[in-house]
Amino acid sequence: MPRLSEVIAALENLWPAERAESWDAVGTVVGDPGQEVTRVLFAVDPVQEIVDEAVSLGAGLLVTHHPLYLRGTTTVAASTFKGRVVHTLIKNDIALHVAHTNADTADPGVSDALAGALDLRVVRPLVPDPGDPEGRRGLGRICELDHPLTVREFADRAAARLPATAQGIRVAGDPEATVRTVAVSGGSGDSLFDHVRAAGVDAFLTADLRHHPASEARAHSPLALFDAAHWATEWPWCELAAAQLDEISDRRGWDLRVHVSRTVTDPWTAHAASAATTAGAPN
């Protein structure tokens, strides 16, 4: 049975903290290095319902993609949302470890998992890490389809392969246009449009696309856009990361029980379609 410090060392080897962005907050947030760990739960968000799930599971370690405290705080009072999370973790001897932008650019990382969920073949990073001489690490991935699909067919594939959310998949582009190459980026991706255009791909799948960047991207080229829920584009990484830790556990004889939360923590809970989907400007 490994100690927390041993498991954390293995996770840091997969996603070194020094590869996180300077603004990020990664690493161990809560936990006693000497405590023994038998179960680990992976999730996207360190929210109360996920922490409660870890308690019910009997997990000794919760690993999330999103940080609990991305910015500084002056209180961990249980009367606050995040303070309650901290109190619940400590009371139940559950450690919390975060792998965020260091997991985004890892090889394999968040976008590799997204590509795998969509049955895409990864060719190279969209934004290569200049510190990687092999050119395998970096932000986003440029991918190829084994067989061309129309924009409509690829949207259907994304909707079927990614976890269901209220948003679903928003699509911009000619439904009958052909898609052979796709850039993907888990999480918010509209800051990457210059790299996507330079890559010359047929389509871009990411999350949190804003009106003006998307409109400008469409004006510059026939690039098809697929906008999925932020949570849905990052959740496949949980399965990838859990498999990586499972393999380490088997190799080291730890006998860890590794789990992936399937609790949907996307904040949007409903989608109301417009009553006039083909109408012009509102009155």
Q: Is 230 annotated as a binding residue?
A: yes
Other C-beta atoms lying within 10 Å of the C-beta of residue 7: 26
Distance CA 271, CA 95 (A): 35
Query: 126 with 141: CB under 8 angstroms?
Result: yes
User: Which two structure tokens, joined as six digits, stand for 41?
Assistant: 């739960």
Q: For residue 87, what are the contacts with CB-CB under 8 A and spacing of at least 6?
A: 76, 78
Structure tokens at 269: 């809970």
Residues 228, 204: contact at Cβ < 8 Å?
no
Is residue 195 annotated as involved in ligand binding? no
250 DSSP 8-state letter = H
* Cis peptide upstream of residue 108 (ω within 30 degrees of 0): yes
DSSP 18: G
- Confirm or deny that 220 is annotated as ligand binding: no
Residue 104 annotated in ligand binding: yes
Instruction: State which H helix or E strand residue 249 sits in.
Output: helix 230-252
Q: Which of 41, 96, 52, 8 shows the shortest CA–CA distance to 259?
A: 41
Residue 105 to residues 97, 109, 210, Cα–Cα distance (Å): 17, 6, 23
**Both structure tokens of 15:** 């996603």
> Does 216 belong to an annotated binding site?
no
Indicate the annotated binding residues. Answer: 65-66, 104, 230, 234
Indicate the annotated binding residues for a divalent metal cation. Answer: 65-66, 104, 230, 234
